């Protein structure tokens, strides 16, 4: 593994290895035998806001012996229009790895190609692979290693967003059942589903059907970063897909609710549900650190 640009480009085996390493690094936090990033500087290049991703990567790089360097596109020449391929060729001569949060997946792909650096997707409009690795780590902590086998996982709301797409590729690679529920216009396009060719992905406009028998029920904001102008027009159509106590009556006994955060209470999730499932939801946030350390560790050894 040279970079982590998407879940799509990982194999099931690679996902399982990253999860196993994530569990190990979490158990060994504070007394790691090796410092694989010693002497290295990793740039965090962010064009969008972040709390969890920025903090977990800055802490993770440091704990593995490296130095994180945060670069907001507002303060670099990227914000004034310097092309990504020029920025990439400059940074490629100075730093040892890059962690990028941006809009267009192609910018990430171009950065990796022009810099030659190990490059990590810290969220694009297309995918959010680090969050999915943290979510799978959390699922395994709650239900056991490999417990996603044969499990039904539901994702409700704006299901064709970066989180939904990463979940779809995880379902394809690992083979669990993924039920996606949202308004018709927000369901994955037929060409997306054809490219995935994954019979264990179910799409429905019926929220109860998606949740029925599901062990993990996921949601995310209805308005992803960059879509703020669609607020209002977009929101109304999503209310039938709100994760609330009534809907969760259809879920499997012992179910968990996941949310990548930040959450918008009263919209995609109710306050009572978020608070009832805060243990799992904040474990997802914590596990960003451990899952990403597994990614950094693996890339440092490539």
Q: What is the DSSP letter of 269?
A: B
Q: Note whether 192 binds ligand NVA by CB under 6 A.
A: no
Angle ∠(198,187,237) on CA atoms, nearest 5: 155
| Residue 166 within binding range of ligand CP, rule CB under 6 A | no
| Selected binder of ligand NVA within 220, 256, 280, 283 (CB under 6 A) | 220
Candidates 162, 166, 218, 256: give the one binding ligand NVA (CB under 6 A): 162
Which 238-267 residues touch ligand CP, going by CB under 6 A?
A: 260-261
Only one of the segments 8-16, 145-153, 216-224, 274-282 lies at the binding site for ligand NVA (rule: CB under 6 A); that segment is: 216-224
Asked if 138 is part of the footprint of ligand NVA (rule: CB under 6 A), the reply reads no
Q: Nearer Cβ to ligand NVA, position 73 or 162?
A: 162
Segment contacting ligand NVA by CB under 6 A, of 19-27, 59-67, 143-151, 155-163: 155-163
Among ligand CP, ligand NVA, none, residue 121 binds (CB under 5-8 Å by kind) = none
Known catalytic residue at 203:
no
Both tokens of 227, joined, read 């879509």
* SS3 category, 72: strand
**How many whole angstroms separate alpha carbon 253 and alpha carbon 269?**
19
Reduce the DSSP state of residue 208 to 3 states and report it.
Answer: helix
> Is 161 an interacting residue with respect to ligand NVA (CB under 6 A)?
yes
Residue partners of 184: CB distance under 8 A and separation at least 6: 205
H or E, element range at 258: strand 256-259
Q: Could you give the 3-state DSSP secondary structure of residue 196?
A: helix
- Given the rule CB under 6 A, which of 31-39, 48-56, 145-153, 247-255 is the region that contacts ligand CP? 48-56
Q: Is 131 in the site for ligand CP (CB under 6 A)?
A: yes
The active-site residue, picked from 220, 255, 277, 292, is 220
Residues numbered 75-114 forming contacts with ligand NVA, rule: CB under 6 A: none
SS3 23: helix
Can you tell me which of 119, 218, 219, 221 binds ligand NVA, judged by CB under 6 A?
A: 221
Indicate which residue of 203, 260, 277, 292 is catalytic: 260
Q: Is the dihedral of CA 233, 158, 240, 273 positive or negative?
A: negative
**How would you label 65-99 residue by residue, b for 16+ Cβ within 10 Å and e otherwise?**
ebbbbebbbeeeebeeeeebeebbeebbeebbbbb
Catalytically annotated residues: 101, 128, 131, 220, 260, 288
User: Could you list the residues that contact ligand NVA (CB under 6 A)?
Assistant: 123, 128, 161-163, 220-221, 224-225, 260
């Amino acid at each position: 593994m040279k970079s982590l640009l998407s879940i799509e480009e990982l194999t099931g085996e690679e996902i399982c290895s990253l999860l196993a390493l994530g569990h190990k690094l979490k158990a060994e936090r504070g007394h790691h035998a090796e410092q694989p990033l010693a002497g290295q500087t990793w740039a965090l290049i962010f064009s969008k806001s972040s709390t969890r991703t920025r903090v977990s990567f800055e802490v993770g790089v440091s704990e593995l012996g490296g130095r994180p360097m945060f670069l907001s596109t507002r303060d670099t020449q990227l914000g004034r229009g310097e092309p990504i391929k020029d920025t990439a060729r400059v940074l490629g001569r100075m730093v040892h790895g890059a962690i990028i949060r941006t809009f267009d997946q192609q910018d990430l792909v171009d950065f990796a190609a022009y810099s030659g650096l190990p490059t990590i997707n810290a969220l694009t409009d297309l995918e959010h692979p680090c969050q999915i690795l943290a979510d799978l780590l959390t699922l395994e902590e709650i239900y056991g290693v490999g417990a996603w086998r044969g499990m039904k996982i539901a994702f409700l709301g704006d299901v064709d967003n970066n989180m939904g797409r990463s979940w779809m590729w995880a379902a394809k690679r690992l083979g669990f059942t993924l039920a996606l529920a949202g308004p018709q216009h927000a369901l994955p396009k037929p060409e997306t589903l054809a490219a995935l060719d994954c019979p264990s992905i179910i799409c429905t406009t019926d929220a109860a059907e998606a949740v029925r028998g599901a062990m993990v029920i996921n949601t995310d904001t209805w308005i992803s970063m960059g879509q703020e102008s669609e607020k209002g027009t977009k929101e109304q159509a999503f209310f039938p897909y709100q994760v609330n106590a009534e809907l969760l009556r259809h879920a499997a006994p012992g179910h968990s609710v996941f949310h990548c955060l930040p959450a918008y209470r009263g919209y995609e999730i109710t306050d009572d549900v978020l608070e009832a499932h805060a243990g799992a939801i904040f474990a997802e946030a914590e596990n960003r650190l451990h899952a990403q350390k597994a990614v950094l560790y693996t890339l440092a050894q490539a």
